Structure 1
């Protein structure tokens, strides 16, 4: 199967982005809507992954001007296809366009070792977000590699 990831504006694509994020974060992960959708959405650079044949939205992610990558969500039935990989590649590309030197994520604890293997380093203390323990991880953009699979809230 093939997928296309496009950079989109929140104002035009919010219904599509919200649909994917609600299915993954609100319904599957049980994150309250008021936490999932924040005012940062209006300032972020968003990407939307669509199935090439059906044109249906299947994944999303965002990057802020601070270098924070977040809200990566892929519908469950497409996770085996590593759609997150092309979403991350697009987010890294946007980070390069923004001339960022460093990117960071707030990783669930169970994925820390994986990100360490991909040039991310832990930074600061473990904290709770939406009822989940997380750890900030940073990476110099020129060393960034694409994770095999993960969801990031």
Structure 2
């Protein structure tokens, strides 16, 4: 199986990004569509994950160093694609002068982010009715 993570453009890759996030967040997790799309889509740096030349995952990095909207289609989970996506986003951030990144992890995914070097900062809060926790990573 060939896997690839690449930098994406909201303008040219919007359909792929939206398709993945609609499947994962809106359909699977029941996040209201009006909460899924925000004003940061245009300014964020987006990434796509491919498996066998099919887009199966996405994530973004906002100008303030927040990693978010990480999603891997259900049929492609458990293959290490999410970890590879996170690694590429962190590497990109480091190469572009970020010293630290953060994210709002869904509570059930906390262990996934800990394995990638993130640490918990703060207490549990809710976004779209889902428990989240802020996590940070110093980039080196």
TM-score of the pair, normalised by structure 2: 0.91
Kindly state the Cα deviation for residue 96 of structure 1 after the two structures are TM-superposed: 1.1
Which residue of 2 is the match for residue 27 of structure 1?
27
Matched positions, count: 140
Q: In structure 2, what is the Cα distance between the partners aligned to 1:5 and 1:136?
A: 24
Which residue of 2 is the match for residue 135 of structure 1?
133
Change (3 A) 1:56 1:114: closer
Q: After the TM superposition, which segments of 4 or more aligned residues of structure 1 sit over 4 Å from their partners?
A: none
Which residue of 1 is the match for residue 41 of structure 2?
41
Q: Pick from 88, 107, 111 the counterpart of residue 90 of structure 1.
A: 88
Which residue of 2 is the match for residue 101 of structure 1?
99
Change (3 A) 1:127 1:30: same
Which residue of 2 is the match for residue 75 of structure 1?
73
TM-score of the pair, normalised by structure 1: 0.84
Stretch deviating more after TM superposition (72-81 or 121-130):
121-130
Matches within 5 A, 1:114-125: 114-116=112-114, 118-125=116-123
Aligned-residue Cα RMSD (Å) equals 1.6
Q: In structure 2, what is the Cα distance between the partners aligned to 1:91 and 1:34?
A: 25
1:13 paired to 2:16: no
Q: In structure 1, what is the Cα distance between the partners aligned to 2:2 and 2:44?
A: 26
Kindly state the Cα deviation for residue 7 of structure 1 after the two structures are TM-superposed: 0.3
